[in-house]
């Protein structure tokens, strides 16, 4: 991502943060069939902590001094803690009281100070934003300008990878709206710089159980109203009160895109297809994007002529996997006697 240093508000840091971004754009032709279009996958699991969050954390750290704080119990917490410890910076992570022990351990391995918060977690987010910098602590939350600046590099890299060709659309899962805001920023800057005549459409995908941005889009409103989110396997995209929701809606409108919701059943199927066909293991929240893409081409507005970049936002390696219904496991005792054909 530091190839775009002139587009960023900070200088490239040393250490682990230097190696964030620059992820591959994979032409995954085996995904074309179900999606009914030409599919490219921007594969973010190759980042140091396995998600695009490292982009925002790297810029967030480079743009602040002293301790950093974040309100997250998922990929953002891991990302901040990992990059902070490498930079010899203290990291404060605020997680909800009911976080699972597995998730807590994933964060804890990177040595942050963890505050487990009783009470309303959504309210806490707003409070830390208004605190902004408690003496010596800078909060780099999902919609902080430094994080959004870092996360725009996903968009810059995608456009640079296919140039001088242009993609018809970029499809990504959305929760707080921070990543979508960043990618929109990239497209606007490329357009303003005369580097893109027409910008790709931005299509955003949410889990049906918690889809405040998609609901506002369906109601044709400009503002996102908080929802009471239900359970979904896509926990990374289940923010019931997205801080950058309105900006995500504006991005969609500006680029003639859309916001769709997908069921957990569709998400699970998409996750399996990504691994089984394309060899790409992503987490459920990330697989939602492929489920959304299949829906977008089936019922419009995307056509089968389209070339699409799907953003695989986070790794599947942290999630338990289940055996496929018909695993190709062969039990044998005599290697010499096996033909191994087919
Ligand atoms: C954070 C996250 C998202 C959602 O990004 P927002 O910026 O919150 O909209 C999607 N996928 C994964 C894997 C994430 O960690």
**In the numeric block, which tokens belong to residue 16?**
């682990």
The pLDDT tens digits of the residues spanning 188-239 come to 999 999 999 889 999 999 999 999 999 999 999 999 999 998 999 999 999 9
Q: Given the structure tokens 């490498």, which residue do they identify?
A: 86
Report the separation in Å between the CA atom of 176 and the middle of ligand 1, taken as the mean of its atom positions.
7
Report the separation in Å between the CA atom of 181 and the middle of ligand 1, taken as the mean of its atom positions.
12
| Ligand 1 mutation pick, 77, 174, 179, max ligand atoms within 8 A of CB | 179
Q: For residue 182, which atom of ligand 1 is closest to its CA?
A: 7
Q: How far apart are CA 154 and CA 322, in angstroms?
A: 30
* Higher pLDDT among residues 166 and 215, named by residue: 215
Residue 20: strand, helix, or coil:
coil
Report the separation in Å between the CA atom of 17 and the middle of ligand 1, taken as the mean of its atom positions.
19
Specify whether the CB–CB gap between 157 and 309 falls below 8 A. Answer: no
**In the numeric block, which tokens belong to residue 32?**
């074309």
CA gyration radius, the chain: 20
Q: Given the structure tokens 């240093």, which residue do they identify?
A: 5
* Higher pLDDT among residues 285 and 306, named by residue: 285
Q: What is the pLDDT of residue 174?
A: 98
> Which residue CA neighbors atom 2 of ligand 1 most closely?
236
Report the separation in Å between the CA atom of 334 and the middle of ligand 1, taken as the mean of its atom positions.
48
Closest CA to 201 of 155, 254, 161: 254
Residue 178: strand, helix, or coil:
helix
| Ligand 1 mutation pick, 60, 172, 224, 285, max ligand atoms within 8 A of CB | 285
Pocket of ligand 1 (CB under 6 A): 51, 53, 74-75, 142, 173-180, 236-237, 283, 285-286, 313-314
Q: How far apart are CA 48 and CA 52, in angstroms?
A: 9
Q: For residue 282, which atom of ligand 1 is closest to its CA?
A: 13
Burial class of residue 201 (count of CB atoms within 10 Å of its CB; 0-12, 13-18, 19+): buried
Report the separation in Å between the CA atom of 128 and the middle of ligand 1, taken as the mean of its atom positions.
19
Q: Check pLDDT > 60 for residue 135.
A: yes
Q: Check pLDDT > 60 for residue 133.
A: no
Closest CA to 203 of 37, 44, 55, 50: 37
Specify whether the CB–CB gap between 100 and 126 falls below 8 A. Answer: no
Report the separation in Å between the CA atom of 237 and the middle of ligand 1, taken as the mean of its atom positions.
6
**In the numeric block, which tokens belong to residue 79?**
């990302």
Query: Stretch 72-92: mean pLDDT, rounded?
Result: 96
- Strands 38-43, 25-27: pairing kind: antiparallel
Q: For residue 314, which atom of ligand 1 is closest to its CA?
A: 13
The pLDDT tens digits of the residues spanning 95-117 come to 988 899 999 999 999 999 999 98
| Ligand 1 mutation pick, 60, 75, 252, max ligand atoms within 8 A of CB | 75
Query: Stretch 314-339: mean pLDDT, rounded?
Result: 83
Q: How far apart are CA 294 and CA 302, in angstroms?
A: 9
Confidence of residue 170 (pLDDT cuts 50, 70, 90): very high
Our CA dihedral for 150, 105, 92, 57, rounded to 10 degrees, sits at: -10
Neighbours of 318 (CB within 10 A): 18
Neighbours of 124 (CB within 10 A): 15
Q: For residue 239, which atom of ligand 1 is closest to its CA?
A: 8
Q: What is the pLDDT of residue 118?
A: 84
Q: What is the pLDDT of residue 168?
A: 95
Specify whether the CB–CB gap between 11 and 5 falls below 8 A. Answer: yes
Q: For residue 285, which atom of ligand 1 is closest to its CA?
A: 11
User: Would you say the C-alpha torsion 235, 159, 161, 17 has a positive or negative sign?
Assistant: negative
Closest CA to 175 of 145, 146, 199, 209: 209
Q: How far apart are CA 281 and CA 272, in angstroms?
A: 8
Query: Stretch 253-280: mean pLDDT, rounded?
Result: 97
């Amino acid at each position: 991502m530091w190839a775009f240093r002139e587009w960023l508000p900070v200088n490239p840091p040393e250490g682990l943060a230097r190696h964030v971004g620059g992820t591959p754009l994979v032409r995954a032709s085996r995904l074309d069939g179900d999606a009914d279009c030409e599919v490219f996958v921007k594969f973010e699991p190759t980042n140091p902590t396995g998600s695009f969050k490292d982009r925002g954390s790297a810029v967030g750290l480079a743009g602040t001094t002293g301790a950093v704080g974040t309100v997250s119990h998922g990929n953002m917490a891991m990302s901040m803690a990992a990059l902070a410890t490498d930079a010899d910076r203290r990291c404060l992570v605020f997680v909800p009281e009911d976080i699972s022990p597995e998730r807590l351990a994933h964060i804890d391995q990177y040595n942050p100070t963890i505050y487990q918060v009783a009470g309303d977690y959504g309210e806490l987010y707003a409070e830390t934003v208004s605190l902004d910098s408690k003496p010596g602590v800078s909060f780099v939350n999902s919609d902080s300008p430094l994080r959004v600046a870092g996360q725009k590099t996903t968009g810059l890299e995608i456009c640079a990878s296919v140039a001088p060709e242009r993609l018809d659309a970029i499809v990504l899962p959305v929760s707080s709206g921070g990543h979508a805001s960043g990618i929109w920023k990239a497209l606007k800057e490329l357009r303003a710089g005369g580097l893109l005549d027409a910008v790709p459409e931005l299509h955003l995908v949410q889990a049906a159980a918690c889809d405040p941005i998609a609901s506002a889009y369906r109601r044709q409103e400009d503002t996102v109203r908080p929802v009471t989110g239900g359970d979904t396997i896509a926990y990374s995209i289940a923010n019931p009160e997205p801080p950058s929701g309105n900006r995500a809606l504006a991005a969609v409108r500006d680029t003639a895109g859309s916001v769709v919701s997908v069921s957990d059943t569709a998400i699970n199927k998409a996750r399996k297809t990504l691994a089984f066909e394309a060899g790409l293991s992503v987490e459920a929240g990330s697989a939602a994007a492929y489920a959304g893409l299949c829906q977008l081409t089936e019922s419009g507005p995307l056509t089968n002529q389209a070339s699409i970049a799907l953003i695989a936002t986070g790794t599947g390696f942290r999630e338990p996997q289940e055996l496929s219904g018909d695993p190709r496991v062969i039990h044998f005792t005599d290697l010499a006697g096996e033909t191994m054909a087919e």
